[in-house]
Amino acid sequence: MLDVTDPQTQPVSALRVLVYSDHSDTRAAVIGALGRRPDADLPELSFIEVATAPMVFAQLDAGVIDVVILDGEATPAGGMGLAKQMKDEIDPCPPILVLLGRADDRWLADWSRADATATLPVDPIALSTTVVDLLRSTEL
């Protein structure tokens, strides 16, 4: 369960969400679907948009990312391959959600060791519910 307070019971600052897609419309749809506060029991979200695989890893190396949302349909580096690389190379790895072009591609997301999936086009209710569940189940 997510502990949203520090030892002195002060609220945690915004949770940082990295959103990766080579399409700005997909990034905007994800950010719009989640909004600043998808759940009253969680801290606000702040978003870091990236369009290239090297920038995903640069952001992960530069600071704390609380959750990663990767576009599985992105090119040239798809989100499932990035998820697999992150799980193999980053310890501890933040929770990862992969956006799938087809629900039938869930098996590929399982191979990538993604913690959760959602489908494209973005369904705001489903994505928000999945991200909130992912954050709640993760000790941040």
Reading the chain (140 residues) residue by residue, the pLDDT tens digits are: 344 433 343 445 899 999 999 999 999 999 999 999 999 999 999 999 999 999 999 999 997 899 999 999 999 999 999 999 999 999 899 999 999 999 888 898 899 999 999 999 999 999 999 999 999 998 65
Would you give the distance in Å from CA 110 to the centre of its chain? Answer: 15
15-137 topology per CATH: Rossmann fold (3.40.50)
Give how far Cα 63 sits from Cα of 7, 15, 80, Å: 22, 12, 22
State pTM to two decimals: 0.89
Residue spans of the domains in the chain: they are 15-137
